[in-house]
Amino acid sequence: MTFNDIFKSGFLDNVSSVSLFDMALALLLAFGIGMFIFLVYKKTYAGVMYSSSFGVTLVALTMITTLVILAVTSNVVLSLGMVGALSIVRFRTAIKEPMDIAFLFWAIAAGIVLAAGLIPLVVFGSVFIGIVLLIFANQKDSSNPYIMVLRCTGQQAEKAAEKFLSKAVKRCVVKSKTVQKGMVEMNLEVRLKDDDTGFVNELSDLDGVESAVLVSYNGDYMG
């Protein structure tokens, strides 16, 4: 039997079509799971600037993945062509937040499992993952690093500010220093003793300190 004989024997006819009810049910469930992923993403986001378009992308990605897997499972020939078509797709968008990668894989996995008909698994798994992320993603520790941007009018003011910081915070490390005539600007990594940031007000009141800015550091500000 040759390869052509296999196709002539009715291989192309051995496909199962997806009913309209199954399609509607799968897409509605995918929309619901996608909305749940979107809400968890919105609650746990801890980046610099929240992007609502990425949240909408998670909903759409869940539904699109479900649609693709439904097509693949209903037609073997179509699945072969779709594998070849999707293999040439390349995405150039940079992922700035590490957690965004987890949400993208979550949306894709939910769409695949849902289209495979494992509805209890996708519901239980999504709820469990969502609870874990809600518990751990937004936990803030006083040992988390911050960046202090300090502007002083001279060397004496710089030393006074460093002496004050060494007592006010748990750890203080100079990351960069820019010196101009009559002005010194420093970027320091500080770790707080507790969640109280009132020391920044006292620091800005020191003689020779022009400004003191405290920024939550997540890896995007400094090289």
Range in 24-28, 90-94, 116-120, 197-201 the model is least confident about:
90-94
With b meaning 16 or more CB within 10 Å and e meaning fewer, what string describes 159-183?
ebbeebbeebbeebeeeeeeeeeee
Residues 31-37, mean pLDDT to the nearest whole number:
92
Burial class (CB in 10 A: 0-12, 13-18, 19+), 33: buried
Q: According to CATH, what is the number of the domain 145-216? A: 3.30.70.260
Q: How many CA atoms lie within 13 A of 174 on its CB side?
A: 12
Asked if residues 60 and 110 have their Cβ atoms less than 8 Å apart, the reply is: no
Q: Looking at the predicted structure, is the pLDDT value of residue 196 above 60?
A: yes
- Check whether 31 has a pLDDT greater than 90: yes
For a pLDDT cut of 90, what percent of the chain falls above it? 9
Domain ranges of the chain: 3-136, 145-216
Residue 14 confidence (pLDDT): 46
User: Which of the two residues, 218 and 138, has the higher pLDDT score?
Assistant: 138
What is the per-residue pLDDT across 126-146, written as a single tens digit (0 to 9) for each? 999 989 988 887 665 546 678
CA distance 35 to 169: 41
What pLDDT score was predicted for residue 36?
Answer: 93
Upper half-sphere CA count for residue 127 (Cβ side, 13 Å): 5
Q: Given this model, what pLDDT does residue 19 score?
A: 73
pLDDT value of position 128: 93
Question: Residues 143, 131: contact at Cβ < 8 Å?
Answer: no
pLDDT higher than 50, residue 15: no
> Over 80: is that where the pLDDT of 189 sits?
yes
Average pLDDT (14-39) is 81
Confidence of residue 29 (pLDDT cuts 50, 70, 90): very high
Segment 83-104 shows an average pLDDT of 69
Model confidence at 81, in pLDDT bands (50, 70, 90)? low
Which H or E run contains 121? helix 119-136
The average pLDDT across 10-14 equals 47
Average pLDDT rounded to a whole number, residues 187-210 = 80
Residue 76 has pLDDT above 80, yes or no: no
